[in-house]
Amino acid sequence: MGRLRAPLAWLALVATIAVPLGVAAGSDYLAYRGPVYIVAGFAGILALACLLVQPLLVAGVMPGVPRRIGRRWHRWSGALLMAAVAVHVGGLWITSPPDMIDALTFGAPTAFSAFGVVAMWALVMAALLAVARRSPGLRPQVWRLAHGAAVAVAVAASVPHALLIEGTMGTLSKAALCVAVVAALVWVLARLKPWTGVIRSRSGPTGR
């Protein structure tokens, strides 16, 4: 079992992402959609997949990817995530501007629209923090909590956003990916404890 652990972990991760992508690629609905709408939909799935990979990379829990390398990949994967969100929102805007205006102004009749917009702004927040990580006056302990909180909001909103949508994704594979996204975040937050050292103690900062 010990020797199998690494390949099994990677196989599980790849399958959790590849199966929902494959099911969506085989959806009947694609035949009735234009190319822009199709790309926008798959960008959404890609963004959900990035949400799964991101915490695993930054915590260095994937076999063969130590934290030093994982953190570098985390930045690239984060950039990919933001690009996917931009393509998702932009593509849906081109497909149906009035529906996107409703969504972005929280006027849509569908709850998943509001969840999606909340998730988008939380991700923008997390990304802006990532860019401003080295800025003076921002203590690392505070930065870690803020970035972690923004990501937690993003995941908490992204999962109902995805689950409530009736689209190209298969119900089961979508639910499995969502469970994995939540589990990965909770596991990594419990491991990295971004809330430590936020409140300054007399004996000095305790964070890493």
Question: Measured between alpha carbons, how far is 182 from 33 in angstroms, rounded to an integer?
Answer: 30
Residues 26-85 touching other proteins, rule: CB under 8 A, are 29, 31-34, 37
Is residue 167 a contact point for other proteins (CB under 8 A)?
A: yes
Residues 90-129 touching other proteins, rule: CB under 8 A, are 92, 95-96, 98-99, 102, 107-110, 112-113
Cβ-contact 50, 80 below 8 angstroms: yes
Which residues, other chains included, contact 15 with Cβ-Cβ below 8 Å and sequence gap of 6+? none
Number of residues that bind other proteins (CB under 8 A): 22
Quote the tokens at residue 19. 């199966």
| First CA to last CA distance, the chain | 33
> If you search the block for the tokens 């000095």, which residue do you land on?
204
Is residue 166 a contact point for other proteins (CB under 8 A)?
A: yes
Is residue 137 a contact point for other proteins (CB under 8 A)?
A: no
Question: Measured between alpha carbons, how far is 198 from 195 in angstroms, rounded to an integer?
Answer: 6
Query: Closer to other proteins at the Cβ: 80 or 114?
Result: 114
Which of these segments, 25-33, 66-74, 121-129, 200-208, binds other proteins (CB under 8 A)?
25-33
Contacting residues toward other proteins, per CB under 8 A: 29, 31-34, 37, 92, 95-96, 98-99, 102, 107-110, 112-113, 164-167
